[in-house]
């Protein structure tokens, strides 16, 4: 059996970024483990129990052969320098805790009643079982609440789970159930004309490569929804601003009026949400951009005349003035530089490794790493262009 826990630990040779993007929208979507993993863990436990039963008859290996290796294995990184990857580490911690819970629950079973036929069940086998479930599960609508919202019902849909992903799908999943159709019916409906021998493509959701990798076993090149995640931290911002040549003492010690706005952004207080992102459709998460605009502006009046939606919008050009905007963008670029330095290799080194030829799992890991570095480069270039544009406008204004 593939040692998933060990490979997940090796996968943490990626910068300390975060990601918990919500599930994809739609009538029926591919299941995403955005929570504590309990749902997938229980489902995986049932899979593992069935497989243990098959092992006695020599059937387990046959089942494994039907699962593509890219989905069956998690991520391996060739470098031993591990810096921590929150989502992988989170799943590792869950699996270790779940192993203890399962072993405690079955400790008193005799061999005849043992749910796994007496076989040892550890975090690695549970991780494999979870991967087998997460890469094939769909989230369907369940009970309708009085608010109009629906509960989630994870389901395994044979044959339908063979459809691949595309951001430009040619089909979608439709769930039908009601007074005229009391039995739940799930079907795939074509969105456009599909030629003979063409694959059926579904949109698994607007997800980052972290989720595509962890739950489906692949990476999307140039994924426009991919992000890197950073922890909002005063000391980190101090270091970034210093590197960017931006002078501010407010990152670690914000003024009372700044603290109030940061609290509204949920970046300050007793239970703040300190996970912020770069990349994706927004380029810079609105909360991070608003915080920088607030902390880099010394005059409260310049900030408080704007609402939060304006302060969070990158489309709102320099609401607090060009100088503040340039300082904010330079600080973010410095954050990108700091993030890129946490990788153990450069993009050219990774590309060279791929050209030499590596195992598929290592290729997947390197591709994931390249995409994250490329994202950082793209954010840096975009912000640099914005700075250049702002400075040219400031020059024209000064001449006028």
Name every residue whose Cβ is closer than 8 Å to that of residue 226 and which is 6 or more positions away in sequence.
208, 209, 220, 279, 280, 371, 372, 375
- Count, in order, helices (H) and strands (E) of the chain: 15, 9
**Residue closest to 33 by CA, chosen among 163, 137, 124, 126:** 137
Output the CA–CA distances (angstroms, integers) from residue 178 to 25, 91, 185, 240, in the order listed: 20, 37, 10, 56
**Residue closest to 379 by CA, chosen among 278, 311, 285, 287:** 278
**Residue closest to 107 by CA, chosen among 93, 118, 123, 95:** 118
The most distant pair of C-alpha atoms in the chain lies apart, rounded to whole Å, by 89
Report the 3 state secondary structure along 4-31.
HHHHHHHCCCCCCCCCCCCCCCCCCEEC
CA quadruple 246, 248, 252, 256: dihedral sign: negative
pLDDT, tens digit (0-9, with 9 covering 90-100), for 48-88? 444 444 444 333 333 333 333 333 333 333 333 333 355 66
| Mean pLDDT across the chain | 77
pLDDT, tens digit (0-9, with 9 covering 90-100), for 335-354? 999 988 888 889 999 999 99
State residue 95's pLDDT score. Answer: 80
State residue 94's pLDDT score. Answer: 80
Contact criterion met (CB below 8 Å) for 50 and 128: no
State residue 152's pLDDT score. Answer: 77
Looking at 71-75, 110-114, 226-230, which range is the least confident one?
A: 71-75
Is the same domain home to 292 and 370? yes
With respect to residue 299, please indicate whether it lies within any of the assigned structural domains. yes
Is the same domain home to 378 and 241? yes
Q: Domain of 289: which CATH number? A: 3.90.1420.10
State residue 89's pLDDT score. Answer: 63
Count of domains in the chain?
Answer: 2
With respect to residue 382, please indicate whether it lies within any of the assigned structural domains. yes
With respect to residue 222, please indicate whether it lies within any of the assigned structural domains. no
Name every residue whose Cβ is closer than 8 Å to that of residue 287 and which is 6 or more positions away in sequence.
232, 265, 266, 267, 276, 312
Is the same domain home to 334 and 379? yes
Is the same domain home to 165 and 59? yes
pLDDT at 231 over 50: yes
State residue 376's pLDDT score. Answer: 94
Region 140-164: what's the mean pLDDT? 82
Is the same domain home to 152 and 263? no
**Distance between CA atoms of 330 and 321, rounded to whole angstroms?**
14
Q: For residue 34, what pLDDT band results from cuts at 50, 70 and 90?
A: very low
pLDDT at 299 over 50: yes
**Dihedral in degrees, nearest 10, Cα atoms 353, 358, 361, 362:** -30
Q: For residue 137, what pLDDT band results from cuts at 50, 70 and 90?
A: confident
pLDDT, tens digit (0-9, with 9 covering 90-100), for 20-33? 333 333 344 554 44
Last residue of a domain, one of 194, 216, 238: 216
Q: For residue 15, what pLDDT band results from cuts at 50, 70 and 90?
A: very low
Is the same domain home to 195 and 233? no
Is the same domain home to 386 and 242? yes
Share of the chain above pLDDT 70, in %: 74
Is the same domain home to 171 and 277? no
Is the same domain home to 280 and 177? no
Q: Domain of 165: which CATH number? A: 3.90.1410
Name every residue whose Cβ is closer than 8 Å to that of residue 34 and which is 6 or more positions away in sequence.
20, 21, 22, 23, 211
Domain range for 71: 4-216
Mark residue 189 as left, alpha or beta (left: phi above 0; alpha: psi -120 to 50; beta: remaining).
beta
Is the same domain home to 134 and 206? yes
Is the same domain home to 189 and 58? yes
With respect to residue 17, please indicate whether it lies within any of the assigned structural domains. yes
Is the same domain home to 145 and 173? yes
State residue 46's pLDDT score. Answer: 52
With respect to residue 101, please indicate whether it lies within any of the assigned structural domains. yes
Share of the chain above pLDDT 90, in %: 38
């Amino acid at each position: 059996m593939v040692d998933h826990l060990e490979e997940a630990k090796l996968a943490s040779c990626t910068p300390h970024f975060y990601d918990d993007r919500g599930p994809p929208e739609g009538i029926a979507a591919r299941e995403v483990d955005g929570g504590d993993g309990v749902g997938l863990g229980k489902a995986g436990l049932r899979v593992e129990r069935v497989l243990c039963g098959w092992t006695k008859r020599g059937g387990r290996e046959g089942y494994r052969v039907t699962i593509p290796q890219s989905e069956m294995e998690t991520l391996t990184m060739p470098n031993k320098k591990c810096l921590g990857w929150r989502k992988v580490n989170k799943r590792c911690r869950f699996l270790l805790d779940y192993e203890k819970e399962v072993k405690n629950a079955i400790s008193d079973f005799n061999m005849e009643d043992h749910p796994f036929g007496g076989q040892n069940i550890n975090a690695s086998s549970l991780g494999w079982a979870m991967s087998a479930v997460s890469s094939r599960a769909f989230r369907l609508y369940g009970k309708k609440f009085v608010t109009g919202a629906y509960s989630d019902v994870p389901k395994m849909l044979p044959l339908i789970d063979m459809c691949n992903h595309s951001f430009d799908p040619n089909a979608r999943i439709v769930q039908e159930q009601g007074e005229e159709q009391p039995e739940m019916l799930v079907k795939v409906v074509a969105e456009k004309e599909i030629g003979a021998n063409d694959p059926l493509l579904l949109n698994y959701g607007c997800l980052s490569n972290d989720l595509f990798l962890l739950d489906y076993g692949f990476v999307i090149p140039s994924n426009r929804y991919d992000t890197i995640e950073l922890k909002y931290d005063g000391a980190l911002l101090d270091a970034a601003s210093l590197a960017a040549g931006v002078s501010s003492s407010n990152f670690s010690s914000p003024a009372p009026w700044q603290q109030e706005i940061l609290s509204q952004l949920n970046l300050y207080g007793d239970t703040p949400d300190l996970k912020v992102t770069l990349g994706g459709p927004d380029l810079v998460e609105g909360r991070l951009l608003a915080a920088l605009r607030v902390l880099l502006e010394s005059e409260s009046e310049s900030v408080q005349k704007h609402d939060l939606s304006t302060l969070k919008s990158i489309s709102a050009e320099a609401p607090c003035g060009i100088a503040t905007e340039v300082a904010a963008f330079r600080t973010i670029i410095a954050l990108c530089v700091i993030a890129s330095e946490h990788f153990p290799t450069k993009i050219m080194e990774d590309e060279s490794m791929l050209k030499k030829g590596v195992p598929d799992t290592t290729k997947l890991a390197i591709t994931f790493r390249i995409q994250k570095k490329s994202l950082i480069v793209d954010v840096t270039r975009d912000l640099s262009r914005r700075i250049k544009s702002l400075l040219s406008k400031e020059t024209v204004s000064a001449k006028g």
